[in-house]
Structure 1
Amino acid sequence: YLHTNSTTHTFLFGALAELVDNSKDADAKNLDIYTCKDPYLRGGFYLAFLDDGCGMHYGKFCRIEINE
């Protein structure tokens, strides 16, 4: 569980909109949303979001607080 900058979504489409908004915030010009089959997962697939945004700087990533 990421403690910093986390948001809880009770509405599925709100969570999906947050992921799309994250791509926009990263100055992504392209965003692909697709499903991938994976027989090892319950349900057999996952939803993937792939963008060409600038992402997060490694130093900032290392400062994220993770609570388990």
Structure 2
Amino acid sequence: MCALRGTKPNPIAKELGISSGAVTRWKNAEDPPSGKTLILLADRLDCSIDYLLGRTDDPVLHQLDSSSSAI
């Protein structure tokens, strides 16, 4: 279950060692989070990076089947 709903961004950012200034820059689309930061956030919130980026409405992390071929 994604822990995003009802979650305030600044306490999570502080927990992960991310400054509140960085969060503000993300909100203002001035400086997007790095890939490493997106991974930290997705892991903490138990959701997919695509969900964080607005590429899907489905917060569930879908893992590839090990028999699938990678691109």
**TM-score normalised by the chain length of structure 1:** 0.31
**TM-score normalised by the chain length of structure 2:** 0.30
Structure with the greater alpha carbon radius of gyration? 1
Higher RCO (CA-CA < 8 Å; seq separation 6+): 1
More strand by share: 1
More helix by share: 2
